[in-house]
């Protein structure tokens, strides 16, 4: 009951009409016709049950569609619940996102209701998506992560839930994917939170960033594009 109440206050949940329709439009029409090739790597690393926190790199607005295609209901039998910024939840885009299970977060000052709802989703064994870089990054600079994802995983652990964190890398044959480009997504082996405090947060984020980068390298290699070393 608590999770349903919090969901009503934040978003409209996964709409039984709009969600399947969006799946058909985005996966069967848009992605199929926009990219000439889509590759999924490391699908065996994606847990099919239990609470999961997906931690993808963020390189283009196509990332969400690619992730839902590779890890959404058609593959795992469950939806990807996205935590997105408040600005993404505005206008017509926000109207649709609100009906596809997305919910907003204030990155500078996350509300208690948002954090509780995110933890509730994990307690319910669902699949939560958080972009730990916090924004789209089209440069080739080293990955820098915010602390939001690790904090959520720690909150869940404090509630007795040992959530699996899956590093994900996305790659496109062009930095700004054009029609008929190639796209790839790579899932790395799941990680789990161990311990609390500043050192634990730093160690976890360092390892997560390394695995996200490695997954991204695999995706970029697949599409014929190598990330330059800095």
CATH number, domain containing residue 32: 3.40.1130.10
DSSP codes joined into one string, 126-192: -EEE--TT-S---S-SPP---SHHHHHHHHHHHTT--PEEEEEEEEESSSSPPTTEEEEEEEPPPB-
Question: How far is residue 52's CA from residue 50's CA, in Å, rounded to a whole number?
Answer: 6
Distance of CA 56 to the CA centre of its chain: 5
For residue 216, count other CB atoms closer than 10 A to its CB: 24
Those residues with Cβ within 8 angstroms of residue 43's Cβ, 6 or more apart along the chain or in another chain: 70, 75, 187
Does residue 30 have a pLDDT over 80? yes
Does residue 227 have a pLDDT over 70? no
The pLDDT of 210-216, averaged and rounded, is 97
pLDDT tens digit sequence for 102-133 = 998 988 788 888 899 999 999 999 999 999 99
Does residue 229 have a pLDDT over 90? no
Those residues with Cβ within 8 angstroms of residue 62's Cβ, 6 or more apart along the chain or in another chain: 31, 34, 170, 172, 177, 183
pLDDT of 8 reads 67
Q: Which residue has the higher pLDDT, 110 or 79?
A: 79
What percent of the chain is predicted at pLDDT more than 70? 95
> Total domain count for the chain?
1
Query: Does 228 map to a domain?
Result: no
Residue 71 lies in domain: 2-222
Query: Does 227 map to a domain?
Result: no
164 token code pair:
């699996």
């Amino acid at each position: 009951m608590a999770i349903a109440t919090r969901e009503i206050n934040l978003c409209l949940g996964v709409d039984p009409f709009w969600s399947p329709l969006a799946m058909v439009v985005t996966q069967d029409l848009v992605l199929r016709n926009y990219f000439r090739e889509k590759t999924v790597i490391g699908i065996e690393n994606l847990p099919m049950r239990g609470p999961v926190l997906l931690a993808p790199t963020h390189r283009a607005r196509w990332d969400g569609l690619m992730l839902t295609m590779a890890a959404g209901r058609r593959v795992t039998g469950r939806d990807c619940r996205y935590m997105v910024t408040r600005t993404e939840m505005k206008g017509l885009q926000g109207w649709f996102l609100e009906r596809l299970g997305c919910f907003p977060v204030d990155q500078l000052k996350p509300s208690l209701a948002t954090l509780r709802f995110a933890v509730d989703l994990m307690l319910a064994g669902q699949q939560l998506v958080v972009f730990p870089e916090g924004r789209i990054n089209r440069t080739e600079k080293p990955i820098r992560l915010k602390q939001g994802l690790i904090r959520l995983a720690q909150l869940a652990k404090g509630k007795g839930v040992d959530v699996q964190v899956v590093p994900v890398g996305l790659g496109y044959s062009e930095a700004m994917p054009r029609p008929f480009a190639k796209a790839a997504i790579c899932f790395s082996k799941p990680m789990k939170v161990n311990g609390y405090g500043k050192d634990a947060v730093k160690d976890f984020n360092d390892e997560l960033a390394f695995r996200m980068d490695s997954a991204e390298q695999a995706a970029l290699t697949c599409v014929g594009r190598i990330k330059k070393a800095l």
